[in-house]
Amino acid sequence: MHRVELQAEPAALSVDIDKSALVIIDMQRDFLEPGGFGEALGNDVSRLQAAVGPCREVLNAARGLGMLVIHTREGHRPDMSDAPPHKVERGDPATRIGAPGPMGRILIRGEPGHDIIPELYPQANEPVIDKPGKGAFYQTDLELMLKNRGIDTLFVCGVTTEVCVNTTIREANDRGFRCIALSDCCASYFPQFHEAGLAMIKAQGGIFGSVTGSKALLASLRARQAA
Ligand code: TIU
């Protein structure tokens, strides 16, 4: 057991690192780089870059501790049989899911844009969950993986705060997992939605979970190692 004391909102937490996983949501080129799905939706993708450095620091620390690290990717099969028509039909036909973009077909598995950015690229021992929806539990084996390893707490990073991060945390909360969103490791195309997304998680005594920053987590991990 590796227990750490962690400053968080709405209240400090005591967390067993051996029962914790780092879940990095959708840090894909399609969301973070020009020419992908995020930009096709009309967004300023540069806003998401702020989360990359803090994510990398937390990822390095988690790897150093041997913590389970799980990456997710949003996207669809090349034949798009798993893509709901109402999701595909949104927006300009030239930039829809499946349309050819500068990084291959937008949000299609196997295309360069669908893959995770090089800075946070998964190691061979780190499971990658390919998900068709916004939530990482919907139509995936994430819950099975976490239960098989006795995980009860998730540190959650990724993009976007109010869409895939929030949906995943809500799904996890209903399944009995304690979620801790790492505020500076998450980002949104809309700063006000980032703030609101975090506020919604920690409101009402932590209705969906807790929120802290990468620096607080790294300080707790260092304090544990020094003890
Ligand atoms: N558009 C947007 O904010 N997000 C997504 O479509 N997917 C994720 O958040 N991963």
SS3 72: strand
Best residue among 87, 90, 164 to mutate for probing ligand 1, ranked by most atoms within 8 Å of CB: 164
> Backbone phi, then psi, for 34, in 5-degree steps?
-60, 140
User: Rounded to the nearest whole angstrom, what is the distance from the C-alpha of residue 164 to the centroid of ligand 1?
Assistant: 6
Average pLDDT over residues 74-103: 94
SS3 15: strand
| CB proximity list for 89: less than 8 A, separation 6 or greater | 96
| pLDDT score at 95 | 87
Active-site choice (19, 26, 55, 202): 26
Give residue-wise pLDDT tens across range 127-143.
999 999 999 999 999 99
Whether residue 37 has pLDDT greater than 90: no
Q: Is 186 a catalytic residue?
A: no
Q: Which strands, in side-by-side order, build the sheet including 178-187?
A: 128-131, 68-74, 20-25, 153-159, 178-187, 210-212
Atom of ligand 1 nearest to the CA of 189: 3
**Which residues does residue 211 pair with via DSSP β-bridges, in sequence order?**
9, 181
Give residue-wise pLDDT tens across range 12-31.
999 999 999 999 999 999 99
User: Rounded to the nearest whole angstrom, what is the distance from the C-alpha of residue 139 to the centroid of ligand 1?
Assistant: 17
Average pLDDT over residues 189-200: 98
Average pLDDT over residues 94-111: 94
Active-site choice (131, 157, 184, 202): 131
Structure pTM?
A: 0.97
| pLDDT score at 41 | 86
Q: Is 26 a catalytic residue?
A: yes
pLDDT band of residue 70 (cuts 50, 70, 90) is very high
The residue contributing the CA closest to ligand 1 atom 1 is 38
Q: Is 131 a catalytic residue?
A: yes
Alpha-carbon distance of 55 to 119, in angstroms, equals 9
**Pairwise pLDDT comparison (36 vs 106), residue with the higher score:** 106
